Amino acid sequence: MKKLVEFPMKPNHRTRQHLWVAAKELGFEFYERTQTSISLYEFDLSGKKVERSYELLNILEFSSSRKRMSVIVRNEEGKLLLLCKGADSVMFERLAKNGQEFAEQTKEHIEEYADAGLRTLVLAYREIDEEEYVKFNEEFTEAKNVVSADREEMIEEVAEKIERELILLGATAVEDKLQNGVPECIDKLAQAGIKIWVLTGDKMETAINIGFACSLLRQGMKQVVINSETPENKALEKSGDKTAAAAAYKASVIQQIAEGKQLLASSNENSEALALIVDGKSLTYALEDDVKDSFLELAIGCGSVICCRSSPKQKALVTRLVKTKTGSTTLAIGDGANDVGMLQEADIGVGISGVEGMQAVMSSDIAIAQFRYLERLLLLHGHWCYRRISSMICYFFYKNIAFGFTIFFFEIYASFSGQAVYNDWFLSLYNVFFTSLPVIALGVFDQDVSSRLCLKFPLLYQEGIQNVLFSWLRIVAWAFNGVLSATIIFFFCIRAMQHQAFRKGGEVAGLEVLGATMYTCVVWVVNCQMALSITYFTYIQHLFIWGGIILWYIFLMAYGAMDPNISTTAYKVFIEACAPAGSYWLLTLLVLVTSLLPYFAYSAIKFRFFPMYHEMIQWIRSDGQSDDPVYCQMVRQRSLRHTTVGYTARFEAKSRSSKEGGEGHR
């Protein structure tokens, strides 16, 4: 006796799982599958449950170009059946003349389902005679055994021959709910100034309803719909003249793009934003070389862009078009095999792991579990990483310029004699132990704004888009700061030690003392400069900054205590010369304060009178006003840009219309 299980195997697609459950509710209960057969429990005409087995002969797999899938089975009576399911755009044209009894009614049902935001499939079948099947099976087996590059095309050609003269069974509709947090995430991304395009394989009606559900579209938004499926074009296509039909489709697309551009040109800043909606067939012609520039110009000017019935190739081509023509950084996010090309074409591919399989995740740069995590990925970690990396690079420039220019100034002072002011080991260990670890800590741990405030003020992300923290001006400013620090360190040390009694016996300082003193000042200045730059201290950063300074003194004592043949110019320079001299410590303090004063003054003035957006938020936090809605709104308004999608944009549009209505009433 065979054991009945609820789900003998887990479907790899949620639509299949829903169809599985629906079939069970209708009396067709799947319970076993082998490599060559499928077994079901069915209800016969008397209502009695019976066991039926179907011999599984061939599977014609789904592909993005075919947009359908078929199986060929033999029932217990010996009949050969082809069972097919697919998109309505390809299924209705494959129906037999006597198989379209419910075609119009089914189309109406599909439109109703699509208007409700449901994903639809059309089901059809046909009986195959034995002779036709034998011929098909030979060609199909031959095509599958081919190892050339056109293997898939050959398989599709063979399948095309038998997937015809179908009899319509009906349509299915599956609710594809939005994940939790999707509208909120899209709203935050829109507030951050990120342009959002939707490339989907769903029907246009379904895509539009999803657009409204996630606030990409809103009532009152003008929709520019490019749909070439006019009755005239369909009639021309049915006539069999493919060349004339293609020309008519292309002309229709070009005309609709031109009309959309005219509508865009006639709008102004106070006009309602436009939404561009394109179907898959129209997108094919819109992406041709002589049309794509006009299409892109229209799409960029619209607030929302939705491409429906898009194939994987079209998704990749749209991504490539935006990336190459606009020069913008593109991010693609998807969860299915149909999104792989788009993920690989984008600058950054984000795959969502889930019931759709792992193809998208394996082809992406970053994997997340749900769409809503994109908010933290971009607005929080994106901002933090941008700030950390830009600050780290600028600081590397600063500390090496500050160190290198002290050597350069000494060479000028020494008339380019080649005499080294620093010991060889001082040069070697500067970037290894004494100054690099604080920079690494900055690049890993620093946070200019807390995670809560980062998500509360999405416009922080604009600092990365506008590159305000890593512009050429900022790099040059840090380089100038390095030269200024080196100038202060060198000339203070030279003037303080030149012709002055340094030791207790009245001797002046030698070259080795000058080198050790300058090096001490450099280590102090660059590490304390790092302390001024950091906005979020951790124990590790304290350890690296102050530990680097302490490590310098420990090294100077330990290295100076070694044999003179090893320590050379550093032999007991700290213990016998520098440490006992009060001027050494006083000079270090004066150089430190003087070197940091310009940066401190610049930062204070800029923070007070010319703050960047993250500095405004720091001000809110320091004043304890981060939970005051009035205060936060005031800060938002200083940098807030007009958004066109998301529920925030919807509320703004309602507010504007209410104001205009009130003014008109007065």
Among the residues of 222-339, which ranges form H helices? 231-238, 242-266, 280-286, 292-301, 312-326
Spatial contact of 11 and 17, defined as CB atoms under 8 Å apart: yes
Distance of CA 70 to the CA centre of its chain: 36
Radius of gyration, CA atoms only, the chain? 36
Tell me the three state secondary structure of residue 224: strand
Tell me the HSE value of 655 on the side-chain side, using a 13 A CA sphere: 7
Q: Is 62 annotated as a binding residue?
A: yes
Residues 6+ apart with CB under 8 A from 478: 394, 395, 397, 398
Neighbour count for residue 570 (Cβ, 10 Å): 25
Q: Is 636 annotated as a binding residue?
A: no
Q: Is 338 annotated as a binding residue?
A: yes
Among the listed residues 537, 367, 376, the one whose alpha carbon sits nearest the alpha carbon of residue 461 = 376
Q: Quick one: tokens of 416?
A: 């380019």
Q: Is 201 annotated as a binding residue?
A: yes
Q: Is 309 annotated as a binding residue?
A: yes
Spatial contact of 423 and 570, defined as CB atoms under 8 Å apart: yes
Q: Is 289 annotated as a binding residue?
A: no
Q: Is 339 annotated as a binding residue?
A: yes
Long-range contacts formed by 553-557: CB under 8 A, 24+ apart: 555/429, 555/433, 556/516
Long-range contacts formed by 62-65: CB under 8 A, 24+ apart: 62/86, 63/152, 63/156, 64/201, 64/311, 64/312, 64/313, 64/338, 65/156, 65/311
- Got the DSSP string for 136-177? HHHHHHHHHT--STTHHHHHHHHHHHHS-SBEEEEEEEEE-P
Tell me the HSE value of 466 on the side-chain side, using a 13 A CA sphere: 13
d(CA 114, CA 491): 77
Which residue(s) pair with 85 in the sheet?
Answer: 69, 123
Q: Is 491 annotated as a binding residue?
A: no
Among the listed residues 436, 412, 402, the one whose alpha carbon sits nearest the alpha carbon of residue 519 = 402
Q: Quick one: tokens of 55?
A: 């011999």
Spatial contact of 24 and 30, defined as CB atoms under 8 Å apart: yes
Residues 6+ apart with CB under 8 A from 440: 392, 544
Place of tokens 């011999």: 55
Phi, psi dihedrals of residue 85, rounded to the nearest 5°: -135, 145
d(CA 40, CA 54): 8
Residues 6+ apart with CB under 8 A from 309: 87, 89, 200, 201, 202, 203, 204, 279, 280, 281, 283
Q: Quick one: tokens of 116?
A: 């409700």
d(CA 211, CA 645): 10
Spatial contact of 337 and 320, defined as CB atoms under 8 Å apart: no
Residues 6+ apart with CB under 8 A from 142: none
Q: Is 335 annotated as a binding residue?
A: yes
Q: Which residues are annotated binding-site positions for Mg(2+)?
A: 335, 339
Q: Which residues are annotated binding-site positions for ATP?
A: 62, 85, 119, 200-202, 309, 315, 338-339
Q: Which residues are annotated binding-site positions?
A: 62, 85, 119, 200-202, 309, 315, 335, 338-339
